[in-house]
Amino acid sequence: MKKLKRYQYERYAILCQLAYPDAEANYQKVLEPFHERQLVDKYGRMSVRILWTDNKKEVIVVFRGSLGLRDWLANMVFVPAKIKQVDRHFYVHWGF
């Protein structure tokens, strides 16, 4: 993991806020240079945002934190669940 310069902390703090769906409207200019992919949980709520640009060797992944009781309960059920996407099988936290 690369070491951040002082001015980058604010940038990454804003990007971390983008893990929450209601923040997108406030930070549209921040998102302009990025391609993005959003991952949702089984309830359809955005929980991960992946950002990247074509001209940098950098990918930014931000995770939404726990918002309510349902999230905290999902955090406690950390039994791996088998997922199949495309032609691959892998295990993830049951809450995803």
Residues 53 and 78 in one domain: no
Residues in the chain with pLDDT values less than 70:
1-2, 4, 6-7, 21, 93-96
Q: Which domain holds residue 87?
A: 66-96
- Distance (Å, rounded) from C-alpha 18 to C-alpha 85? 25
Beta-strand (E) ranges in 4-79?
35-40, 46-52, 59-63
Give the number of domains in the chain.
2
Do 56 and 73 belong together in one domain? no
Co-location of 71 and 60 in the same domain: no
pTM for the predicted model, two decimal places: 0.59
